[in-house]
Amino acid sequence: MPFIRTSVRKNTSRERVAGIVDGVHQALVEAIGMPADELFNLVSEYEPEQFFYDRKFNGIARSDELLVIEITMRRGRSDAMKRALYASIASRLETIGVSPKDVFIFMHENDYSDWSVGNGVFAMAIAQQRGNDA
C-alpha cells in the first residue's frame, strides 16, 4: 500500500488537485500493479515564498507550478518498474496541463514492519490481508 504526499502551489484549483491525485493513482495501478482500492494521498499546499528551488537544476526549466510527489511504499519494486511509474505519472499529469518539467517525484521504501494501517495492528501481522469492515 503506497502512501503518497503531494505538495502543490497554494490556490491550485480543486479540479487540478483531483486530476493530479487521480493521475498519480492510475499510474501506480498501471505501472506497479497496485490494487485500485489502495488510494492514500495527502495533499498540501505551499505558499510560493515557502518553497525554494533551482529553476534550472539538472538542465530542466521549471515554472512557478512545481509540484512534489513523495511515494512511500514497501521495498521490492525493480528499477524498471520505478522508471515506468515516473514516466506514467509525468505523462498522465501532462494530459491535465501539468508540465513534466514541473513534476518532482521522490520514492521512500521501507518494510511491512514500518507500517500500521489501521486498528493499531503491526502491518507485518496482517500483510496483504483484507479486513471485513467494507
Residue 2 appears among annotated catalytic residues: yes
Question: How many CA atoms are closer than 13 Å to the CA of 112, on its beta-carbon side?
Answer: 9
| The length of the chain, given as a count of residues | 134
Question: Which residues, in sequence order, are bridge partners of residue 103?
Answer: 67
Burial class (CB in 10 A: 0-12, 13-18, 19+), 107: middle
Distance CA 114, CA 123 (A): 8
* Residue 21 one-letter amino acid: V
Distance CA 121, CA 124 (A): 8
Task: Report the catalytic residues.
Answer: 2
